[in-house]
Structure 1
Amino acid sequence: MMNLSQPWAAETFGLCFASLNDSCMKIVYSPVFRVPLYLVFTITILMIVFGNLWVICTISSFQQLHTPTNYLIVSMAVSDLLLGSFVMPPSMIRSLETCWYFGEFLCKFHSGTDFMLCNASVLHLTFISIDRYYAVCQPLRYHSRMTTRVSVFMIMVSWGFSAFFGFGIIFSELKIERKRTEELHVACKGGCLALHGREIGVTYSLVFYFLPMFIIVSIYSRIFVIALKHVRVINSYPTSLLSVSKKDLKATKTLAIVIGVFMSCWTPYFMCNIIDPIVNHTIPALLYEVLMWVAYLNAVLNPLIYAFFYSWFREKSKMLFKKLYKLW
């Protein structure tokens, strides 16, 4: 169980389940600490849900936005929407009540869903980088290579692979988890351990996060080297091709920002997963808790990036808002 055990925030100690002898200890925080954080977390969750729902509705409502790249963006928005809808509310209660009240199976299902959605986001970003590579580096082959069918295949691979390994890691590691909890003397009711603080978290972080991020950064490095070459000779292209090149380049830069923001939010959390076993599991649980919520903030930022950097998104959003306003 992850506890925010800071004396300045704690009021009293108690049990998660007073009627059980094997209940975990809980920390009852002062309302001065809990109430503002409940408000902040709730606002964050609502922003994630409505922001990503707006992205999905905006792209889905206009036929001209139905492109392979936007299909991947919509699918990634679905991942963020599910994170805000199903993962973050129980995480909020666990963080602020310092107990898990939803049972052992739902603990594992919640953790598996959390890892599945993180994996899905990483894979979507990987496929988006491949899409941008063909758009900028091989523009003449782009429309033949990146078709709707290919985009749908990428989405199915992202979700299928993520679900298989996300839930597989959680449900296949029962013995490791129980052994670890016994060593820490927290084999009790009301706890819910994730991968952090266990050696399996190192493998997970390296294989499912840092390796894909290395691939993504490598692809984008190649993209921008070629893009710079295109800029030097861009005046020699016909006007029609010039406009397409500028559009693709701008979209690539915007999606690079999305990837950069994702890495900024999630890398500290996964770095802790790698460092913690090296330092004999001495990283405070509070730090994990804070970094987990920093990672979740990525789901808030993506819709804001689209709104600030995509003129077509702002334009279509206004049109959709007017349509909905007229219906009301």
Structure 2
Amino acid sequence: MKNTDLNQTGEMAAVLFCFPHLQNSCPRTLRLSVIRVAMYAFMLTTILMTVCGNLLVIIAISHFKQLHSPTNFILISLALVDCCLGCFVMPFSMLRTVEGCWYLGKHFCRVHSSLDIMFSTVSILHLCLVSIDRYRAICHPLQYKTNVSTLNVIIYIVVIWLTASTFSFGLVFSEVTTENFKTLVLLDSCIGSCVFICGKQCGITVFLVAFFIPGTVMSCLYIKIFHVARKHARVISDRMATVACHELKNRVSEQRERKAAKTLAIVMCVFLLCWVPFLCASLVDPFLNFVTPVDVFEALFWFGYFNSTCNPVIYAFFYLHFRKAFKIIIAKIFGLKITSTTLFSS
């Protein structure tokens, strides 16, 4: 009997709890110190790159009047989404992932989960708006110049923010408890967990609203855009011999529009690549009685967060004017000499 008691006591001592003074506390995830330090280093680097990179995009578009265009105002709002994700969501997710516990209480857990869903939904709706903008600019250029204004774009952006915030906060704080449409943020089994659980119908709704419908719209529009762009390219190649000066400028403008569409399509593909694994897991998991381990979900979360880090890198790599703007801003921050402040060559 004594040996059995000692073994049980030893096993209990080996388990760390999130809140040792509370009876119903969750067990804390045990990790080696080296692994914890490596996780913190990786996640902190990702957060800093996300915040600093997207701040560069916001400052560049705000500061340079040459970048003031309807499309870039959508991009500045998208950068604001990614920056807010890096400031208000990712640091707390980092603590939860590494420590294996949620120390910030039930109410802030709901706010955190709501912001997480909101920023993800706002991101894909922004990308959907960008695809619509590029479709109108390339497929209907004359109508685009007369009908699309900065004010219209700002109204669309405000509607997206309001719609996504209403959807996400309503989903989390409504506490719907229908058997199929169940939404929970805290696991009832123990204290110290912050896990958003979505039932079958809830998972399908989130998948459709936050991914499938806007993703399908984007895919169809970009297929149409590239079909029209190839058509324009063939027409331009046929007229190369007799191109006039003003036609040459139009051709350069069209090439710029097509390159913008191509780059933004890459942004969309990176977004889908980063978020599809998590969204698919969230959709399938309720039908499998929630068998996916929490650590797997945390890894998928961070894979999705990494999308916010990638966007500024894509802009800098594919957009010459963004690259120039970033160099000018960084040079001013560090007091370096600037040879030129022109973004576009005349």
Specify if TM > 0.5: yes
C-alpha displacement at 1:227, in angstroms? 1.1
Distance in 1 between the 2:312 and 2:291 partners?
36
1:70-219 to structure 2, matched below 5 A, reads 70-173=72-175, 175=177, 186-195=188-197, 199-219=201-221
Distance in 2 between the 1:266 and 1:197 partners?
19
Post-superposition CA distance 1:111-170 (Å, at most 9, x none): 000111011101100100000001110111112222101110111011111111111101
User: Could you tell me whether the CA contact under 8 Å between 2:26 and 2:193 is conserved in 1?
Assistant: yes
- Asked if residue 37 in structure 1 is aligned to residue 39 in structure 2, the reply is yes
1:13 aligned partner, one-letter code: V
Distance in 2 between the 1:78 and 1:36 partners?
28
SS of structure 2 residue aligned to 1:15: coil
Which consecutive unaligned segments of at least 5 residues does structure 2 have? 1-12, 338-346
In structure 2, the CA distance between the partners of 1:71 and 1:181, relative to structure 1 (3 Å rule), is closer
Asked which structure has the greater CA Rg, the reply is 2
The TM-score normalised by the length of structure 1 is 0.91
C-alpha displacement at 1:13, in angstroms? 2.2
SS of structure 1 residue aligned to 2:30: strand
In the alignment of these two chains, the number of paired residues is 317
Residue number in structure 2 paired with 1:64: 66
Residue number in structure 2 paired with 1:267: 276
In structure 2, the CA distance between the partners of 1:243 and 1:104, relative to structure 1 (3 Å rule), is same
C-alpha displacement at 1:196, in angstroms? 5.1
Distance in 1 between the 2:56 and 2:256 partners?
23
- Asked if residue 223 in structure 1 is aligned to residue 232 in structure 2, the reply is no
The TM-score normalised by the length of structure 2 is 0.86
Post-superposition CA distance 1:247-286 (Å, at most 9, x none): 1000000000000000000011000011112223222222
Post-superposition CA distance 1:170-217 (Å, at most 9, x none): 10126469x8879x9843221112145765223211222111101111
In structure 2, the CA distance between the partners of 1:312 and 1:175, relative to structure 1 (3 Å rule), is same
Residue number in structure 1 paired with 2:249: 240
Residue number in structure 1 paired with 2:16: 14
Correspondence for 1:47 among 41, 46, 49: 49
User: Could you tell me whether the CA contact under 8 Å between 1:55 and 1:77 is conserved in 2?
Assistant: yes
User: Could you tell me whether the CA contact under 8 Å between 1:123 and 1:158 is conserved in 2?
Assistant: yes
Residue number in structure 2 paired with 1:258: 267
Cα-Cα RMSD:
2.3
Correspondence for 2:291 among 282, 294, 310: 282
Distance in 1 between the 2:105 and 2:23 partners?
16
Q: What is the aligned-residue identity percentage? A: 41
C-alpha displacement at 1:51, in angstroms? 0.6
Select the structure with the greater relative contact order (CA < 8 A; seq sep ≥ 6). Answer: 1
User: Could you tell me whether the CA contact under 8 Å between 1:129 and 1:220 is conserved in 2?
Assistant: yes
Correspondence for 1:295 among 292, 295, 304: 304
Which consecutive unaligned segments of at least 5 residues does structure 1 have? 1-10
User: Could you tell me whether the CA contact under 8 Å between 1:181 and 1:187 is conserved in 2?
Assistant: no
SS of structure 2 residue aligned to 1:24: coil
Deviates more, 1:67-76 or 1:146-155: 146-155
Distance in 2 between the 1:282 and 1:41 partners?
26
